[in-house]
Structures are given as C-alpha cells and as structure tokens.
Amino acid sequence: MKLTALLFPLTASLLVATALPVAAQQKSAPQKLLSAQSDIGFVFKQMGVPVEGHFKKFDAQINFDATKPATSKVAFTVDIASATLGSPETDAELPKAVWFNTAKFPQATFASSGFKALGGGKYEVAGKLSIKGQSREVVVPVTMTQAGAVTTAVGVFPIKRLGFKIGEDEWADTSMVADDVQVKFKLALSGVGKL
C-alpha cells in the first residue's frame, strides 16, 4: 500500500511532464497560407492606361517568428498560367512565348534571404524573385496585422518587366506597354504567433 502511495504521484508527475511538450507542439500549429482569402496581383500601364491583373493559383511555405524576424523564411510559388487580366482574348496571349512563355517557365518563385523588422508591424523582406528564367534580388515592404487567428500581410513592390523578359520583340516597346509593373499582394496566414 505504501509503495502504491509513492508510485502514484511519481507516475502522475511523469505523465504531466511528458504531456506538456506534446501540448506545446500541438498548440503551435503549422503556418499556412489561406489561399481563398489571399490575392497576388499586378498593375501596369498600356498606352498610359492602368491595367490590373491577378494570379489565381499560388502557394507559400512560411516560417515567421515576430520575436526573431531574422530567422524567418518565406518561399512562394506562383502558377504563371493562372494569370488573368479579366478578358479571355488577352488572357489567351499571356501564356505565349513573348509574354510569360508558360510552356517553358510554368512557375514564378520568390525565396526570402532576410527579414528586417521596422517596427509597428512593418518589415522588409529581401529575396530572389525568379520569372521566366530570369532572377533578380528584390526588397519587399510588408505590413502585418492580426485579427483573431488570421494574420494578414500586405505590400506592393515594383519590378521592371523587361528585366524578366516579359513582353519581347515588338512588345519590348515601352511606349505601348510600360516597363514598370507594381506587384501587389494580400496574404492571409494561419498559425502565426502574436505579432
């Protein structure tokens, strides 16, 4: 009887001690992109008129830690064939070789190389953007907010389309389609810790 009285608290303590790390692991859910609540778009000017497009398919692997932003990482994959300008005729042109050449380059990617906290939920994310076989280093400003379990990251950054060979041959004429393109994003994320 005395041995049982000694063993019970010891066993209970061991169970609690082993359960705590498991509970902590379960509480820290993996970070995920909520695609249905997210958007990646782009704006350019054609003969001086702004034209807006979107990508319908994209994915991301995220590991963000607000307490240690320098250790954070993000990797994006965008299905280039999912680009739309909202017109079937124009959308049929985008996959062609002079534009995105999706048969040869089906995906655009972004891989971060560093996060820098600027305060107030603002960050700068440096990384490599690759489109149509061309890679460029970019710095992306990101503003993050939280509402309940959802963290939203928004930002806009410029690229030069000709630097990625988007619009070749006669479409390299920047008086028709401007070289400057603004890439816009709104990313809804789950599993991110408190900012």
Q: pLDDT tens-digit profile of 99-115?
A: 999 999 999 999 999 99
| CA 51/CA 63 separation, integer angstroms | 33
Q: 134 and 102 in contact (C-beta within 8 Å)?
A: no
| CA 29/CA 190 separation, integer angstroms | 8
Q: 189 and 146 in contact (C-beta within 8 Å)?
A: no
- The predicted-structure confidence for 40-49, as pLDDT tens digits, reads as follows 999 999 999 9
137-160 mean pLDDT: 96
Give me the CATH topology for the region 29-190.
Lipocalin (2.40.128)
| CA 7/CA 140 separation, integer angstroms | 58
What is the reported pLDDT for 15? 39
What ranges do the domains of the chain cover? Answer: 29-190
Interacting residues of 91 by C-beta distance below 8 A, sequence separation 6+: 83, 84, 85
Which of 87, 86, 61, 85 has its CA nearest to residue 74? 61
